[in-house]
Structure 1
Amino acid sequence: MRKKILLIISVLTIVLFSYLTISTAEIRSGSDGEDTYGYPLTFFIRFSGECDPCLPDAPETEINFLKLLLDLLFAAIFPILGWAFIIKVKKDIKKDLNK
């Protein structure tokens, strides 16, 4: 039973993380801008286009793994809270039926 709960929470976390990341992405590379991904923290930036003045060792991409981890934890909070709420409601219903 615990494996099933863990699987459900994991799938919901991945789906929610993917949805939040894609729906809040800012893709501006077509107009000499940068692409940014991540919600609530931006964890991936891809620089593109012209720059004036350009730094000689400027990175084309920037990835912050701590922010990525925090975004995943943020996405995991909602399925965990939802599951805890469902379990509490089920227990309350069983308690009311046994009275």
Structure 2
Amino acid sequence: MTEIIPFSGDRVGELRRSSAMTEQELAERVGSPVDTIREIERNDREPNLDMLFRLAAALGVTPSDLLVGGERPLISADEPRTALAISGSVLR
């Protein structure tokens, strides 16, 4: 069984807005289309490991700040939720 850590697109949006950054500005900083940023923030798309690091750098946080964690235990791959696998593979 692969353990996974849930990714939070909501957190990306919160951090972007608290930095007074537009979606377009974040997209330019990470080198992706603005539609990709919108999909990530709506939790319609999970970033791969490279994008996770680029988002964190652009937002001035650590990659772990973009993951749901800390107070939550790791979940199993059998749970029906969107998550980023520790190995960097994206699961839906």
Q: Same fold (TM over 0.5)?
A: no
Greater RCO, 1 or 2 (C-alpha within 8 Å, sep 6+): 2
**Larger of the two Rg values belongs to structure:** 1
If the length of structure 2 is used for normalisation, what is the TM-score? 0.28
Q: Which has the higher helix share?
A: 1
